[in-house]
Structure 1
Amino acid sequence: MKKQILILDDKIAIAKIISVYLSNDFDITYFDTPVKGIEWLYEGNTPDLIILDIRMPEMNGDEFLSYIKKNGLFKDIPVIILSGEESSATRIRMLEEGADDYILKPFNPMELKIRIRKVLK
Structure 2
Amino acid sequence: MKTILLIEDHDLMRLFLVNYLSSEYEVYSVATIKEANAWIKYQHADLILADFPRNEDTLEMNRLQAQIEGSQTNLVVLTDQDKSEQRIKALQWGAKDCLSKPFNPVELKLRIKTQLPTQFSMGQQFRPVA
Matched, 1:48 2:46: yes
Provide, for residues 8-44 of structure 1, a one-character-per-residue CA deviation record: whole Å limited to 9, x for no partner: 11012112221222111101101111111111112x2
Which amino acid in the other structure matches residue 109 of structure 2?
K
Unaligned runs of 5+ in 2: 119-130
Give the match for residue 39 of structure 1.
Answer: 38
Q: Which residue of 2 aligns with 1:30?
A: 29
C-alpha root-mean-square deviation of aligned residues, in Å? 1.9
Q: Is the 8 A contact 1:83 1:104 kept in 2?
A: yes
Query: Is residue 4–residue 27 contact of structure 2 (8 Å, CA) maintained in 1?
Result: yes
1:33, 1:56 within 8 Å by CA — same for their partners in 2?
no
Question: Given that residues 8 and 30 in structure 1 are in contact (C-alpha distance below 8 angstroms), is that contact kept between their aligned partners in structure 2?
Answer: yes
TM-score, normalised relative to structure 1? 0.83
Partners of 2:66 and 2:21 in 1: how far apart? 28
> Hey, what's the Cα distance between the residues in 1 that align with 2:99 and 2:4?
16
Identity %: 28
1:81 deviates by 0.3
- Asked if 1:11 corresponds to 2:10, the answer is yes
* Structure 1 residues not aligned, in runs of 5+: none
